[in-house]
Amino acid sequence: MLLLSGGTGTPKLLRGLLSLCPKKQLTVIANTGDDIWASGNLVCPDIDTVIYTIAGVTTDRWWGIRDDTFLTHEALVSRGHEERLIIGEFDRATHIFRSDLLRQGVSLTEATLLLCASFGVSSRVLPMTNDFVPTIIQTDEGEMHIQDFLIKHKQLPAVTQVNCETSAMTTEVKTTLEENDAVVIGPSNPISSIGPILRVNGMREALKDRFVVAVSPIVGTEPVSGPARKFMESVGLPVSSIGVAEFYSDFLDILIVDNADFAVSKSDLPDEVEVMHTNTIMSDRRQSNALAAKILQLLAQHY
């Protein structure tokens, strides 16, 4: 099974999928639009969250490593060094490991697979591209990297545009798409977490030939988390599951929406898109498992 992942919404679903299907049968293509060079190392937040989730070491915040310490971060800050992110020791080791490989000429894909092996992760985790294509947010306070928007500016500036350059599809991603007839898109921000993946050359076209199930990250007109409202409004989409369906309309087969979103029906969605209602809020492992089971059932019916 192939999962497109970004942000913190999809790893909650990944937790459920891991409990119901063999890890070796799962491939994740992770967003790299959030990637940023910080304190001399490349940080890949979405890739690392996926690896840490599969390895069982992620935190309840869905970033970083559980029980990590922050002595290096605190020492750097005390010396007047501006760290763009709050990074723990074990998490920093991941970034150093990856960055040293990149400096030696290893691709981001190869470095990611080596990281997976170092964490004992048997699932296949792939960056969406080997290109460095950071998501840049245009705001009323100027242009900024998405991480600076989220952390330094606390999502407060008004957003006028979300930009991520088109990137090249890797051989590994192309092969993975060819080998998987079904694709699941988790409840991630469609613009900033899944949007960069869709900007990979050939991605949208490839998805048109797949059975695609997506989980809406919005209930009613409220995003479950994050700046989805500002980002969707910036591209002229309604802040609703209907807006999510519109963004995915050229390849989406089934949109899963929350039971509380009872107003959303088949007639509200693009012609080729079906709708399924269930509980999409995953505040604990039981709820993650239940949603994962529903998705696996849909995939089984397709096959």
224-237 pLDDT, tens digit per residue, is 877 889 999 999 99
Residue 222 pLDDT class (50, 70, 90 cuts): confident
Domain ranges of the chain: 35-127
CATH class given for the domain over 35-127: mainly alpha
User: What is the pLDDT at residue 225?
Assistant: 79
22-53 pLDDT, tens digit per residue, is 888 999 999 999 999 999 999 999 999 999 99
Q: What whole-number distance in Å separates Cα of residue 74 and Cα of residue 88? A: 10
Contacts of 257 (CB under 8 A, 6+ apart): 216, 219, 241, 264, 275, 276, 277, 280
Q: What whole-number distance in Å separates Cα of residue 229 and Cα of residue 276? A: 23
Cα–Cα–Cα angle for 4, 132, 180, nearest 5°?
25
User: What is the pLDDT at residue 220?
Assistant: 83
What CA dihedral angle connects 87, 129, 150 and 243, to 10 degrees? -150
Q: Are 196 and 178 in contact (CB under 8 A)?
A: no
Q: What whole-number distance in Å separates Cα of residue 197 and Cα of residue 27? A: 15
Give the range among 35-39, 212-216, 220-224, 271-275 with minimum mean pLDDT.
Answer: 220-224
Whole-model pTM above 0.85? yes
